[in-house]
Amino acid sequence: MAFFDIFRKKKNSTPETEAPSVPEAAPVAEAESSQSFLGKLKAGLSKTSDKFTGGLENIFLGRKTIDEDLLEELEELLITSDMGVQTSMKIIESVREEVSRKTLKDPAELRNSLKRKILEIISMDNSLNQVEEKPYMVIVVGVNGTGKTTSIAKLAKMFKDSGLKTVLAAGDTFRAAAVDQLAVWAERAGVPIIRQAEGSDPAAVIYDAVQSAKAKGFDVLIADTAGRLHNKFNLMKELEKIFRVIRKEMPSAPHEVLLVLDATSGQNALAQAKKFHEEVGITGIILTKLDGTAKGGAIIGIVDELRIPVKFIGFGEGMDDLRPFDAESFVEALFRTDSDEADKG
């Protein structure tokens, strides 16, 4: 199933009423695109990878056996790589068990074991939820400065490029110029936007957007929300109100609640994820700004602790610099070494 096949076919539907099929990319073009994005991912994760794999190489240098000193240094590296204390301890405890069973005997085997363990943690089903009703409703949440606005536009372009008629709702009405900013990005993405005056009730804006999207036959509606009111309590209450008014029109909506997290915020991102998940129930994460940080490992701890999948990953300002998350590619990029790059040269 293609990533953007979001509509289940209704029973007894005719060809005219079935959900639109998503055009498949040509195999060669898709392969080239995947290779290109993997290269961008490796470049984007380079600071995180340099810190983590460089640390591994320093720990393993000259060592032929796995002892307690090595494990303590490794645990410290995992923690300082922003994977979180709980997740780091969990990984090290698992390594200790393998060492005690003698299934791990040297640092080379340990490196491969770490790759497997991290891959197991972040390998969750991150496909988009499938529904029958339209429009497919996506609520995007997150604090200001995470790249929420640009992520919404890039997400809209991906839906549009997959053959789905997409519209945006400008629900961040309290931040100065937020609506205008989203309108600029909507134009770049080539999708319309539903908006009201700055300071309007966000819930009313999104309610009107749902009604308009239904009336005009849009497939997908992506709604922006406030990243900050004057305190967190008011922010969460406003989000709860938005959810209530949406469900008056579409009881099963929103179909996705995506939290935008800034990779540069490290462990602060975990605190944000916990708070939003407690209040509104996050269905997936959009991880941004990987290219500007050595703290990309934080996402491993977030997924491990909250069991929320990463659905999209992004870096850079380009409209195509957001893609569906692939765990294997992420781990491959994380464990990139200088010798790996030299071999390709």
Task: Tell me the Cα Rg of the chain.
Answer: 22
Pairing of strands 310-314, 322-324: antiparallel
Amino acid letter, residue 96: R
Q: What is the pLDDT of residue 23?
A: 39
Selection from 286, 285, 284, 290 nearest residue 264 by Cα: 290
Sign of CA dihedral 74, 111, 270, 37: positive
Cα atoms found within 13 Å of the Cα of residue 146, Cβ hemisphere only: 30
**For residues 178 and 169, what is the distance between their CA atoms, to the nearest angstrom?**
12
Q: What is the pLDDT of residue 27?
A: 40
Q: Which helix (H) or strand (E) holds 260?
A: strand 256-262
**For residues 141 and 76, what is the distance between their CA atoms, to the nearest angstrom?**
32
**For residues 140 and 225, what is the distance between their CA atoms, to the nearest angstrom?**
6
- The first and second tokens of residue 231, run together, are 């305190």
Q: What is the pTM of this model?
A: 0.89
Q: Give per-10-residue mean pLDDT for the chain (345 aa).
A: 82 48 40 65 87 93 92 95 94 95 91 96 96 95 91 96 96 89 96 93 95 97 84 82 93 96 88 90 93 84 95 86 92 77 47
